Structure 1
Amino acid sequence: MNIASNLRLLALLSAGYALGTLRGGARRRFESLAREQASVRASALLWQERLAGFVELAPTVEPSPVVWTRIRNLVDGELQRERMSFQPSKPSAQAPSAAPGWWASLPLWRGAAVLGLCATLLAGFLASQWWREAQGIRPVQYVAVLADEGAAPSMLVTFDPRSGQLTLQRVGSYREAADRSLQLWALPPGRTPQSLGVLDPSGPGMRLPVDVQSLRQAPALAISLEPKGGVSGERGPTGPVLFKGPLVEKTL
């Protein structure tokens, strides 16, 4: 199944990946698809950005001393079992049955199951809510994941048709020098690249007003390294192109 063509399934998988409830082989398969397909990679990054707010709003909780005591007892028990495993066994001696530890406690595993269920329900709720909104409004949004030559994502670009703005979010570690600027370009086929704006170096992201028509005519975007303040868009980029990627049209 091509999950990129199934928006609801893609949203559920992306939300589960961002929450950490997508595990094992399913998670590895999703990561493989994200490396191969720009739309899957963009969806995963979008959901990671959306769910990041829950982490920021969550209060800090310090573990109680009881938790640390249990962890220490668990580690000590594991070390003791390892030492005993190297000792020769005595046929006449029968090892007493060990009492179940706290990790075998039924309430503990019930609690872990409840937490996992809550995380799964949260992913399903958010994805379903996203799907219902998409069915009702269905605006066209453009998404691009701009990557370097090694295919490492460096910039997430999204277009919101309601505000008419591009949102650029740095997802890589690259930072330009103080005397240089990153400039965003639309790449219309057979024409000179069109400048969409210069990135602000002070923050992780920024917004740029843009004409949607210029996006419709550009199948790809690119970012070049230019002198401070950028260059005129008449002749295209003058510096090296650091990041580029296809512009994907999505109905959200």
Structure 2
Amino acid sequence: MAYSEDHIALAAEYALGTLDADERAQVDTMMAVDKEFAAVVQAWEFRLGSLNQMVGSVEPRPIVWENIRAAIGLSAEPQAPLLLPESAPPPQVAPVEMRQVRVVDQVPVVDNDNDNIVDLASRVKRWRSLASVASAIAAALLVMFGLQIYQPDALPQAIRPKPRIQTVEVKVPAPALTPSAQYVALLQGQGGGPAFIMTIDGATRNFTVRKVGATAEPGKSFELWLISDKLPQPRSLGVIGTGDFTARPVLSSYASDVVDGATYAVTVEQAGGSPSGQPTSTPLFTGKLIETVPGAASAPR
């Protein structure tokens, strides 16, 4: 049984006699129940018992014994000095005789049966045939894969790979917005103050008329006219509504030079506009276009 270092140290101190009463009682109990531990203690006693033989006995002075007797209340009769018991000689161990054992190598017996040789030869031939077939199949597959990649047209239609169609989405940036020219005409009367403000978009030819200071008489309407020396007579652009803003897309049918150089006039007509399509009164408010926002050179006009 393997003991810990604490148990071994306890056995050595027991052999030296350095333990107190409680520890010695503990070791005695362990030796009584554990024969192997008792053998360990005995081995330490054999090892340490030779220390007594190395040190000679020393006779104490008479005064020492007298003091001891006086302390314990004994008589002054001389007593024999205490002697430590001599340790018993260690047990003799009988020598163990080592015998030499001769090892004989066993040589396997070779069976030279002709049937086994023939069977092995047939197996080798069979495996060689299988290896040749596998190599041929691998070579055929390699050739087929190479043709599928580099020359698919050389293969039969059944094993020819299908063409892959890849759709690529190309995002075209949106065209930049081309700024359009903007035109404004202040339709004023003889008093000088603007009565209407007319704006025209150069790209769409749509115009908007805003009423500023003019008020139509009851039963009358304001009508807008385009007057140009390139036209034989004034052209009506419609009746201006009763609201603050009136929008019309009618200028798209006119040429750009006519629209840019024309004079715009407002007359007072009967409700709903002139019945003849021509002004029935003298224009009260007139004005010409002024370019307020320049457009790009390629912008339609």
What band does the TM-score fall into relative to the shorter chain?
0.3 to 0.5
Larger Rg: 2
Q: Which structure has the highest helix share of the two?
A: 1
User: TM-score under structure 1 normalisation?
Assistant: 0.41
Higher relative contact order (CA closer than 8 Å, sequence separation 6+): 1
Q: Which structure has the highest strand share of the two?
A: 1
